[in-house]
Structure 1
């Protein structure tokens, strides 16, 4: 989190956010957060999450667009953590930070269950359900109508959503050149309504919970954008296989099941599957740039250290993120 945002938060602002959502202090706990302040609370016996973001990072209109789309998905039956109203009936509450900007408070139903690793791991039923969830979100997106043009979310390549545009030019001009080439290709892709629309953009397993019945609830829609549906799919695969000891073997297990589940909920022309690789490469280079910018010493972080080990050389060699042909879908054996 940017220091200029962190330094503006104080107990008076947190207390005002609690007041606006009718939260008592004894049912309130800090949960952490990376780009926003996240708190857990209970109200009328049900668990919720309160998020405090800031207008320096996202405008009130962008937050309105996020929560309106989330609730459209929830009404359609998708497994998402829906937004709930404040005591005044608002989905977004603006609280002055005393410096001319605002903290933006939003609250959500707290997802049931726990992480995939706590709930049995990457089982075949989970892989199928994961595909169904992403497919259902994309199918519902096609029916979404933006109620207010001021709430429109950014495009996938908007500078405010792409860390590499600010992180890499000074840090690694060689990789940035490849980023520019990749972006130019991806921007040349058509944007038909059956393959392009609002998408989560960060639907990895760190942003979902699984309950005991195997139901998945996706949360953290802060990065949702208008983009190619295959980009959402590429993000799922990227984080599933990154740092896996045998990524190709694992992908061979995951991909047919995930794609089968996806196709049960949404139809995406298979020709788009060849674009998984360039979108995975975009995330690979983006993550590389963010780590260079934000984590100068990652020796104590095993996941980051493993990811960065030889990463620059692989990027400069223009090697695919994984050696796998997604167009050869294969059959799921019962």
Structure 2
């Protein structure tokens, strides 16, 4: 399958105005394509339907044209941004993106200055999302609660009663929040730090909008804060202070580009908890319970203890 996918990426790219000379796997769905004239990334997946992917690409291309740092798509010779290929009798959807500038920062570089710029870009993203939704009715991209990854009670085992109760409380609290144009709309949905590239002068590019959804805008702030605390802090100080510093920075940056109601900022710890439950649910969805590694068991137990004891990783 590995070599077959490479072959199909090369075949697929021949339908586009690019001269690919090398293909490398980044993930099971993303392939780095080196061409004579530039670099590209091909996404090959049926994770979302054709209609959802078309709407997602329309959204991200709009953001690109409005000047936000996102990767533009490359239309095929047929002027299609989402093409279909057949792989082992299965139809798979494909999108080709121009490579974004910048690099993934090392963990110790995710400081308050970078997070403030990220907050500013997220504020711009949400402002443009609102503009997009004024022009375009969203028909296929889901509201967050309609995505299976948030169906916590379906996947978290019944015997984990404390965690299931916490999940009920978090979901119930969020579902009662009011929705309006200032606090709810299209967002990235997965802005952990691996989905952000940084170029010279702190120019940022957001990649991988595959999980874009309609949600409360505060969630797009909760995810990178959670990501920085969970994966990027490498010592050299107090992690509680680090959390306070980056949270203050990302909110200040956001407010330079957009306004988020104060009552929603107060809900940031709630959405951090939503992200934590989301990650824990993914483990139950995708990990083989009969073949868990020691590292997977350690991670799951770490989450279990943190959630059951209602311990927050963010102290404001």
Indicate the residue corresponding to 1:16 in structure 2.
Answer: 11
Q: CA deviation at 1:313?
A: 2.2
Q: Which secondary structure state, in structure 1, belongs to the residue aligned with residue 132 of structure 2? A: coil
Provide the rounded CA distance (Å) in 2 between the counterparts of 1:198 and 1:258: 19
Match of 1:67 in 2: 57
Q: 1:299 aligns with which of 287, 294, 300?
A: 294
**Structure 1 match to 2:23:** 29
CA distance in 2, matches of 1:210, 1:225: 24
Q: Match of 1:92?
A: 82
Give the Cα separation in 1 of the matches to 2:166 and 2:3. 38
Contact 1:115 1:209 in 2 (8 A): yes
- Measure, in 2, the Cα distance between the counterparts of 1:84 and 1:151: 23
Q: After superposition, what is the alpha-carbon deviation per residue over 1:88-126, rounded to whole angstroms, capped at 9, x for unaligned? A: 211100223454x521110112121211218x7124431
Report how many residues are paired: 309
Offset from partner CA, 1:1-33 (integer Å, 9 cap, x none): xxxxx79965664343122224445x2322322
The farther-off stretch of 59-68 and 240-249 is: 240-249
> CA offsets, 1:274-320, max 9 Å, x none?
1111111111122123234516534357xx94x54543122112232
Return the TM-score normalized by structure 2: 0.87
- The SS at the match of 1:202 is coil
Among 225, 239, 243, the residue aligned to 1:237? 225
Deviation at 1:166, TM superposition (A): 4.1
The 1:161/1:20 distance shift into structure 2, 3 A limit, reads farther
Alignment partner of 1:51 is 2:43: yes
Structure 1 residues without counterparts, runs of 5 or longer:
1-5, 325-334
Q: Distance in 2 between matches of 1:61 and 1:165?
A: 28
> Residue 146 and residue 8 in structure 1: after superposition, are their counterparts in 2 closer, same or farther (change >3 A)?
farther
Specify the alignment match of 1:116 in structure 2: 105
Work out which of the residue numbers 183, 188, 193 in structure 2 matches 1:205.
193
Cα deviations by residue, 1:102-159 (Å, 9 ceiling, x for unpaired): 21110112121211218x7124431221111111001111101387768530001113
Structure 1 or 2: more helix by fraction:
2
1:16·1:95 contact (CA, 8 Å) conserved in 2?
A: no
2:276 counterpart SS class: helix
TM-score, normalised with respect to structure 1: 0.83
Secondary structure, counterpart of 1:143 in structure 2:
helix
Where do 1:1-334 residues align within 5 Å? 10=5, 13-24=8-19, 27-33=21-27, 37-43=29-35, 45-54=37-46, 57-97=47-87, 99=89, 101-117=90-106, 121-145=109-133, 151-162=139-150, 164-169=152-157, 172-242=160-230, 244=233, 246-293=238-285, 294=287, 296=289, 297-300=292-295, 305=298, 307-324=299-316
CA distance in 2 between counterparts of 1:151 and 1:242 reads 34
Counterpart-to-counterpart distance in 1, 2:35 and 2:6: 20
- The answer to whether the 8 A contact 1:84-1:107 is kept is yes
> In the superposition, relative to structure 1, how do residues 108 and 12 fare at CA in structure 2: closer, same or farther (>3 Å)?
closer
The verdict on how the C-alpha distance between 1:7 and 1:62 changes in structure 2, with shifts beyond 3 A counting, is farther
